[in-house]
Chain A
Amino acid sequence: MNRTWVTPGGVHPPENKHQSVTQQIGSLPIPDKLVIPLSQHIGAAAAACVEVGQHVLKGQLIAEAAGVVSIPMHAPTSGTISAIEHRPIAHASGMLAPCIEITSDGADSWIEHQGISDYEHTSPEKLLEIVANAGITGMGGAGFPSAVKLNPGRQRPIDTLIINATECEPYITADDSAIRERAGEIVDGIKILSAILGHPHNILIGIEDNKPEAIAALQPHVESTGISIVVFPTKYPSGGEKQLIYILTGKELPAGKLPADLGMVCINIGTTYAIKRAVIDGEPLISRVTTVTGEAVGTQRNYDVLIGTPVSHLLAHNQFDQERCSRVIMGGPMMGFSLPSAEVPVVKTTNCILAPSYAEIPEDEPAQPCIRCGMCAEACPVSLLPQQLFWYAQAQDHDRLEAHNLFDCIECGACSYVCPSNIPLVQYYRSAKGEIRQAHDEKIRSDHARERFEFHKARIEQAEQEKEAKRAARREAAQQAKSATATNGSSGGSSAADIIAAAQARAAAKQASPEDQRAKLERTIAATEQRLQLAEEKLAEAVASNSDKQSVFSAAVENTRQKLEQSKSKLAELAE
C-alpha cells in the first residue's frame, strides 16, 4: 500500500456521480454536420489542409500541426468538407474561431490505418511520433499536447509516471466509466507510456476512493506489471496536477516549474486510452467519452462522442428539457463554464456536458460584502489568501496581487464554493490575471514603441545633421569662390575703368609674343598650302572622272585658298 499525503484545504461538494454511471458507455447516431475547431488545445492552432468540397474519410488528416506545441486534427467521420470558417466554439468568451465543418455521408468509412502490436520493440521516438500524429492532447482539462509532455528531453530523466484517474469534480464520470469498461486497453496505454518514457521507476495510478468499481476493474490488469494503484480519500480538488503529485509523492511542485523538472510526468487516464488506440489500433483521436448529465436531460449517461459533435445533438438525443434547464455547462459545476450556445461542438477536452435544473444549480445569488470570515483561506488547496486577493483585485493593485501569488491560483472554485457571501471570487482572479497579462503585454508594446520613437528621433536628427553639413559645405564653397574673385580683382581697383583696364591687361597678357605669332602663322601657311595642293589634286581627279562631287571639291579648294591668303596678309601685317 503506497503512502499518500494530504493537501491543504479542499471542499466536499455533493458528488452527483451516481446518476450517470447506471448505464454503460453509449453511442449516438452520427450527426449530419460536425464542426472541428482548429484550436482545441494549448499552443498554436492547427492549419487546415483540406478544401471546401473535398471528400474525406474517417480518420483522415484535415488540419496539420502548426509548430511543435500544436496538434493535428482528423476527420471524425467520412463526409464532405462543407465549410472552413469562423464558428462559435466552446470558450467562455463566446467568440468565434476558425473551424472545419464536415457534412457526414453516413457511411462512416475509415481511411486505411494500421497499428503496431509490438510496441515494446518500437523505439520511443517512433511511438512519440505516432502520438503526435494522432493529435492527442491531455483530455483532462487544459489540453496540453501529449507528445510535448512525453518528450521532456534528456536532461530531465523521468522516474515517476503518474496516471490521473482522480476525476474529482462533481457530476463527471467519463474517466470512471471508461476505466470500468476499458481497463485492459487503458493499462496497455500505460505500458506504451512507460515504454516512451524509458520505463520509469514508479508508475502510479492516482484514484479517489469514490470509484470502487473502477479500482476493481483495474486491479486484475495491473497485477505483476509494476503499476500501482494508489487510492486516496475523495476531496475536491485532488485531481489538479500539482495536488495529485503532492498526494502521491509528498513533493510540492514549485511555482513556475513543470512536473518534468521533478522527474515526473502526469497524464490523464482518458489520454492513455487514446494513446493505446493510436499506437496499437492506428486510430487518431476522433472521439472521446463525455458525460451528459444534469436533471434537465432525461437520460444521464456517458457517451463515446465524436469530436466535433454539436452539443445540441447530444442534448437532443437525451430528452433535453429547455424549460427546466438553468444553463448548459461544459465541464463540471466547479470549473466548467456556461456555453454561449448549444451549437458549439464537443472538443478533445470536453469531459462533461452538464444541463442542470434550476433546483440543482440555481442562478448565482447576488454577491454580498466580504465579512472576512476566512473560510476561503481554509478551503484554498494552494494555501493562498483568497480574501486578500479579492481586495487587491477590486483595487486593481497588480503588484500586491502578484506578491500574493495570484498566478499560483488554479481557479478550482473551492473559495467561491464556501463563500457565505456568494462572492464570485474565481471570476475576480481570472479577470485580474487577464488584466495583469494585458498590462504586461502593453508594457512590452510601449517599450517597443519607445525604442522605435527614439530611433525615429535619432534618424530625423541624423538626416538634419547631414543636410546641415551639406549646407555648410556649400556655403563654404561659395565663400571661397567669392574671396577668390575678390583677391584677383583687388589689383585693378573697383571702378568700371579699372575693371576694363584689368580686362585689357588680361587680354594682352594672353597674347603671345610677335615671334611666336609669326612662327605660328608660318606653320599655318605651310599646312594650308599642303591642304590646298591636296584639294586641287582631288578636284582634278573629280574633273577627270566627271564625278558629281566636282562642285564640292571646287568649293573646298576655294575655301582653302582664301584661308591661305588671310594668313599671308596677317603675316605681312606682322612684318610691318
Chain B
Amino acid sequence: MIELISQHPIFAALIAMVGLSILFGGLLGYAAEKFKVEGDPIVEQIDELLPQTQCGQCGFPGCRPYAQSIADGDAINKCPPGGQATINALANLLGVPAPELDQEHGQESEVKTVAYIREDECIGCTKCIQACPVDAILGAAKLMHTVIADECTGCDLCVEPCPVDCIDMLPVEETIADWKWSTPAKPGQMIATDRRGELGSNTVQEDAA
C-alpha cells in the first residue's frame, strides 16, 4: 500500500483530497443541523422596523404579514404610521433606494393619536373591542367600554365599527417630560446681504442658481 502510494504520488493527493472533503462535508453538515436558524431572519428584521400599530393600512392584517410580504418583494412604502422614517430605515436595511410614501395607503400624520371613547354615549356593543388589534379596549357586553390609552397604538381600527360614533382619535398632547428641542433651520439658507435687508426679499433661489 505504502509502496503503491510512494510510487504514484497522485494516489496520495487523491486520498488526501477525498479525506479532507469527507471531513469538511461532515463538519458542514453538522453545523447546518446544529446552528439552523428558525424562521426567516430578514422578516424579523423588517418587523422590528415597522411601527407595530397593526392598523392594516398597508393592506395586510398586521405588521408581521406586511414584513413577510416585503421580504417576498413587496413595496416598502405602504406604511403611513411609520412614515418616511420607516421607509428610510427599511431602504437602509434592504439596500434599495427609499421611495416616497405611497399616498394610496394613507398620509403620514404629524401627531400621534390615541382613541378615546365618549363614555356616556357608549352602548356597550363590544364591536370596538373585537376590532382592537392590541386588546387596548376594556369593557363587556352592555357595559361601558374604555380605552387603555397607554396600550393604544392609534390605529383607528375601532372608529369604523362603532355603531354610535362615540370614538374619537385625539392627538397625544406633548408634556414637559417628552418635549424635545426642535432642529434648527439648515445653515447656509441666507447670504450676508439678506441679513441686512439690502436686497429686500429672500434671494435663496438666486443664491442656489
Chain A residues packing against B (C-beta within 8 Å): 39, 89, 91-93, 95, 97, 365-370, 393-394, 421-424, 427-428, 430-435, 437-438, 441-442, 445-450, 452-453, 455-457, 459
Contact = CB atoms under 8 A, between A and B. Distances in A.
Contact of B181 (A89, A394, A434, A456): A434
B53 A449 contact: yes
Nearest to B180: A434
Given A95-B174, A366-B189, A450 B63 contact: yes
Interface string B99-138: 0000000000000000000000000000000001111100
A370 B151 contact: no
Contacts of A441: 178
A442 to B, nearest CB: 8
B55 to A, nearest CB: 11
Nearest to A364: B184
A450 B52 contact: yes
18 contacts: A91-B176, A95-B179, A97-B176, A366-B195, A367-B187, A421-B187, A423-B187, A427-B182, A431-B180, A433-B180, A449-B52, A449-B54, A449-B151, A450-B47, A450-B63, A452-B134, A453-B63, A453-B133
Given A93-B179, A431-B180, A456 B187 contact: no
Interface residues on B, range: 20 to 34
Contacts of B175: 95
B180 A437 contact: yes
Sorted nearest first, the 9 A-B pairs with minimum C-beta distance are A434-B180, A367-B187, A446-B52, A369-B188, A430-B181, A449-B52, A452-B134, A93-B179, A431-B181
Interface in B40-63: 47, 50-54, 62-63
A183 B188 CA distance: 51
A245 B135 CA distance: 51
Interface in B180-209: 180-190, 194-195
Contacts of B146: none
Chain A binding surface, main DSSP class: helix
A406 B134 CA distance: 35
Contacts of A93: 176, 179
A449 B194 CA distance: 49
Contact of B182 (A393, A431, A459): A431
B52 A447 contact: yes
Contacts of B50: 446
B182 A456 contact: no
B77 interface: no
Report whether over half of chain B's contact residues are helix, strand or loop; otherwise say mixed.
loop
A455 B62 CA distance: 13
Nearest to B81: A446
A456 B131 CA distance: 11
A432 B183 CA distance: 8
B187 A369 contact: yes
Contacts of A457: 62
Contacts of B186: 367, 394
Given A91-B179, A92-B181, A431-B183, 8 more contacts: A365-B195, A424-B184, A427-B184, A431-B182, A434-B181, A449-B52, A452-B135, A459-B135
Contacts of A434: 179-181
A456 B62 CA distance: 11
B70 to A, nearest CB: 16
B110 to A, nearest CB: 14
A312 B151 CA distance: 43
B185 to A, nearest CB: 7
A513 B136 CA distance: 73
A448 B52 CA distance: 9
Contacts of B64: 450, 453
A431 B52 contact: no
A455 B183 CA distance: 38
Contacts of B178: 438, 441
Nearest to A94: B179
A365 B192 CA distance: 10
B116 to A, nearest CB: 18
Contacts of A455: 135
B183 A368 contact: no
B195 to A, nearest CB: 6
A433 B179 CA distance: 11
B152 to A, nearest CB: 9
A334 to B, nearest CB: 16
A368 B182 CA distance: 18
Contacts of A437: 180
A446 B179 CA distance: 20
B50 to A, nearest CB: 8
Between A39, A393, A456, the greatest number of chain B beta carbons within 10 A of the residue's beta carbon is seen for A456
B183 A428 contact: yes
A452 B182 contact: no
B187 A453 contact: no
B79 to A, nearest CB: 12
Contact of A438 (B47, B54, B151, B180): B180
Nearest to A443: B48
Nearest to B112: A442
B2 to A, nearest CB: 60
Contacts of B180: 430-431, 433-435, 437-438
Nearest to A370: B187
Interface string B160-181: 0000000000000011101111
A367 B190 CA distance: 8
Contacts of A421: 187
Given A365-B195, A369-B188, A427-B184, A453 B179 contact: no
A545 B188 CA distance: 128
A89 B177 CA distance: 13
Contacts of B188: 367-369
